[in-house]
Structure 1
Amino acid sequence: MEIYLKFILIGLAIAMPVGAITVEMTKQGLRNGFRHGWAVGLGGMTIDMSLILAMYFGFASLLSLPYIQIPLWLAGAGFLAYLGYDSIRNAELNITTTDDKIKKSFWRTYRNGLLVAISPGNLIFWISVFGVVLSDSYHSAGKLSFVIAALGVLCGILIHDLGLLTIVSVTRKMMSQKMIQLVSALAGVLLIGFSFYFLYKFILSLWQYFQ
C-alpha cells in the first residue's frame, strides 16, 4: 500500500506540469464538454499504459535510439502545429453549450489525445525519469512491485485528469461563448508554441546526430 500511495503522488507530479495534453484536454473540455476533454485524457493514458508495458517487457530502450527519436520530434511538431492552427481557425465554430447535443466524434477526439501523447517530450520523459523509477522498483522488489507502482502512477494521472476536467466543466458553465473562443484561440497559440519547440529539438537532435 505504501508503494501504491507513493506512486499515486508521482503520477500526480507527472501530470501537473502544463503540456500539450493538458492544453488540448482543457480546450476540448471547454468547447465540447467533459466527455471530449476526457477522450483526450484517455488517449494520453493509452500511450502511458503502452509505455509501461514496453518497460515491463524491456522494449523501452528502443525509444531512446536517435533514429527513432529524431523523426518523432518532427512528426510531433507537425501534428501540434496542425492542432494549433485548427484551434485558432475554428475558435468561433462548433462551440456547444451545456444544453446542446454534441455532434463531434468521441473517437476523433480520443485520436487527438493519442497523437499528442506520442510526442518525443512525453516519451523521453517517461523513459528518462519515470522509467528509472519503475526500473528500480522492478529490480529491487520484483514484478509485483512494478505492477503496483505502475497502477499507482496511472491512478495519479487519472485523479489529475478528472480534477482538471471537473474544474473546466464548472468554469465552462460560467463562461460566455466569447470567452471560450478566446481560450480556444490561446490554446492554439500554446500548441503552436510547443510545435516550434519540437521543431527546435528536431533540428538540434539532427545536428548532434551528424556531428
Structure 2
Amino acid sequence: MITEISEKLLLGIALAAPPGPVTVEMIKRGLNKGFFAAFNIRLGGAIGNSICLIAAFFGLSVLQSYPRWLDLLGILGAIFIIYLGLTTLKNKIDKKIFASLDSDGVTGGALKSLWIGLMLAVVNPVALVFWLGIYAATVDTQAASVDFRGLWFNFFIIAGVLLWGAFLSGLLEGGRRILNEKSISLISIFAGILLVGYGLKYGLTILSGLIS
C-alpha cells in the first residue's frame, strides 16, 4: 500500500511540475503576493482536477463490463502520459513565462485565487480527457474493475499535485533568485523523465496482462 501511495504522489508531482497555465498564474501571484496567493491557485486547480477525476471514474465505471475497452483506454492513457513526458523534456521551459511576470492584473484575495485556479483546471477543454486517460492507465487491469478503492488511491495523485503546489509556493517566497529559468528547466526535465517512466510502466503492465 505504501508503495502504491508513493507512486501516486510522485505521479501527481510529475504532472503538476511542468509549466502550464496554473503554474504560470502561481508564479505570477506568488512573486507579487507570496505563498498563500500562489498556493490558493493550485488548491483551486486541485479542486477542479478532483471534479474531472470523479467524472472520469463514473465514465469508466460504465465500461467495466467491457474489459477490453478498459485495456484499450489504459494503453491510450499510458501513451498520453509518455507523450506528456516527452513534450515536457522537449520544451523544458516556455520563455514567455518570465516575460509575462509583472504585477499588472494581479488583484483580489484568496477566493479570487481559488476561483482562477478552479477555472483554469475545469474550463480547459482537454481536462476531462486528460484525467480519463490518467485514470484508465492506472486502473487495476488484472482485476478489470473500476471501484471506489481505485478512486480513493487516485486521489493521492491530487495530493501529489498539492504537495508540489506547497513546495513551489515556498520557493516563490525566495523570489526570482531561487525560481528562475534554469531551475524551472531542471524541474521540467525531472518531471518529464518521471512521466515517461510511469507511462512505460503502466503500458507494459497492461500489455503483460493481455499477453498472459
Q: TM-score range by the shorter chain?
A: 0.5 to 0.7
**Alignment coverage as a number of residue pairs:** 182
Partner of 1:23: 14
Inter-CA distance 203–153: structure 2 relative to 1 (3 Å threshold): closer
Counterpart residue identity of residue 176, structure 1: R
Is 1:96 the equivalent of 2:109? no
Residue in 1 aligned with 2:148? 134
Report the AA paired with residue 9 of structure 2. P
Name 1:139's counterpart in structure 2.
none
Cα contact 1:77–1:194 (8 A) shared by 2: no
Aligned mate of 1:74, from 54, 79, 96 = 79
**Amino acid corresponding to residue 37 of structure 1 in structure 2:** R
Q: Per-residue displacement from partner, 1:56-101 (whole Å, max 9, x unpaired)?
A: x55445577322222222223223322443343438635636x453
Structure 2 unaligned blocks of 5 or more: 29-37, 107-115
How far 1:43 moved relative to its partner?
4.2
Q: Secondary structure at the match of 2:10?
A: coil
Backbone CA RMSD of aligned residues: 4.9
TM-score (norm 1): 0.54
Contact 2:85/2:195 (CA < 8 Å) preserved in 1? yes
Alignment CA distance shift 1:37-1:15 (3 Å): farther
**d(CA) in 1 for partners of 2:72, 2:154:** 29
CA distance in 1, matches of 2:40, 2:49: 14
Q: Distance in 1 between matches of 2:132 and 2:158?
A: 18
Q: Percent identity?
A: 9
Asked if 1 retains the 8 angstrom alpha-carbon contact of 2:77 and 2:136, the reply is no
Aligned-partner SS, 1:17: helix
Alignment of 1:34 with 2:39, yes or no, is: yes
Structure 1 spans left out of the alignment, 5+ residues? 1-9, 137-149
- Partner Cα separation in structure 2 for residue 196 and residue 62 of structure 1: 27
Q: 1:67 & 1:154 partners in 2: Cα distance?
A: 19
Q: Give 2:148's aligned amino acid.
A: L
Cα separation, partners in 2 of 1:204 and 1:153, compared to 1, 3 Å:
closer
Q: Is the alpha carbon distance of 1:25 and 1:202 closer, same or farther for their aligned partners in structure 2, counting shifts above 3 Å?
A: closer
Paired amino acid for 1:70: I
